[in-house]
Structure 1
């Protein structure tokens, strides 16, 4: 029996879908993707348009996310001093590795890219696709998160991510459950995730988990580069660099308390 979601759940589901797709969508496609009645989806969208969270194109009637939500996210990151704390670590890793660095945070049961730094220059720059929400089974960052989970849960998330539906990502995309489970074992042994031409052609990455002192996985730090530059020796070197920088990030995580009331009280004392 299908569970009927509340109005609030449907509202956030629509916002998440529009944010993930990052493009305009027609009402019918949006409703079908979320398994909502079109009349109900239309009512929610009309409300979101009225509140300024969603925009509707006058010419096509397609819906897209407005900049209101990203602006709020940016204000939160600024208030939490996230750029000030995180970016120097990312910039240093980019300089040392001479590659593209991407930081993904675990939020709402997804790994979402929140920051980056570019260490390559000129023709050496990697032209890599950006996934706002990472495909878990074919990304280095996704693998390091899944490797921390019980295997049954990891497999469930991998299947939801697209495992077993080949042809969507790169030419070396993992296609079977057995192959995926073996990859998780290798990831656990190495302490970092590796993806070579799995998420996209000609691009590879190595990622390390960011785990707090309490043992909580909060994100992943990835070094991304052209696959031809990522030899086995190079991957090993980059993996160690990623681990060291991920450990630095773990020391300043979580960041919500950086500018909180307790800090102000301490200043007053």
Structure 2
């Protein structure tokens, strides 16, 4: 493992633990010697990416990396391209709207709009920058359904059928056969549906955003399962499709969407 890989593995771990971790815990989690982890942490402190919570205390990320990410998203223009469309869909649906973009083999949440202003609602907090688990999320299933079964299984095999980062619900596919059945149904229906899958008690629907004949991102509507019934999803499907089409058209003039880049 290179020095860069070691550093990035520590940064990725600390990104999931904002309260900080001890050297020994970090070393155990990233499978590196404690002495090496300590040296890397000191270098990251010098560069301003890590701080020690207190003398002899745990280590945590500073806001420098987050600031870089926020600045990058702002300069790419995703808000100019998609946010008004997300806001309008949130108002129509009264639920949480999320946009994810395709970046290589990953699907990454980048923008959100909340339509529910009171009462029971799905509001998971800041998920921008989170890599979507493909098999258990509606957005992931929508993207997988836009490709062949062979390509979909290849991507799932890289990431894993089971989400390693968080427990999934009983609605998540437990076998490849079950996943393929879900993808077939998604293609027939025209949009993906996940209920008690990514998070227990929640339901979501999603469609891929197409541009130039290929998926460049995914758009989803999510909310409490008691409200996001099959009947309600069918009512929202035309609105979701219209918003996805609008984003696809607008994205054609933006460099933000990695999926628009032509392969070398």
TM-score over 0.5 (shorter chain): yes
Contact 1:205/1:223, CA 8 A, preserved across alignment: yes
- Rounded Cα–Cα distance in structure 2 between residues aligned with 1:157 and 1:31: 29
Distance 1:162 1:25, change over 3 A: farther
- Rounded Cα–Cα distance in structure 1 between residues aligned with 2:33 and 2:154: 27
Aligned residues: 253
Contact 1:206/1:238, CA 8 A, preserved across alignment: no
Aligned residue runs from structure 1 range 1-269, under 5 A: 5-20=1-16, 22-58=18-54, 61-107=57-103, 109-128=105-124, 131=127, 132-159=130-157, 161-163=159-161, 168-213=167-212, 215=214, 217-253=215-251, 255-256=254-255
Contact 2:143/2:207, CA 8 A, preserved across alignment: no
For normalisation by structure 1, the TM-score amounts to: 0.81
Q: Where does structure 2 lack aligned partners over 5 or more consecutive residues?
A: 258-264
CA drift of 1:220 comes to 1.3
For normalisation by structure 2, the TM-score amounts to: 0.82
Q: Describe the superposition over 1:151-171 as per-residue Cα deviations: whole angstroms up to 9, x where unpaired.
A: 345335435545258992223
* Deviation larger for 91-100 or 65-74: 65-74
Contact 1:128/1:203, CA 8 A, preserved across alignment: no
Distance 1:126 1:15, change over 3 A: same
Q: CA RMSD in A?
A: 2.8
Distance 1:23 1:243, change over 3 A: farther
Q: Describe the superposition over 1:113-140 as per-residue Cα deviations: whole angstroms up to 9, x where unpaired.
A: 2211111221143344665332221110
Contact 2:78/2:256, CA 8 A, preserved across alignment: no
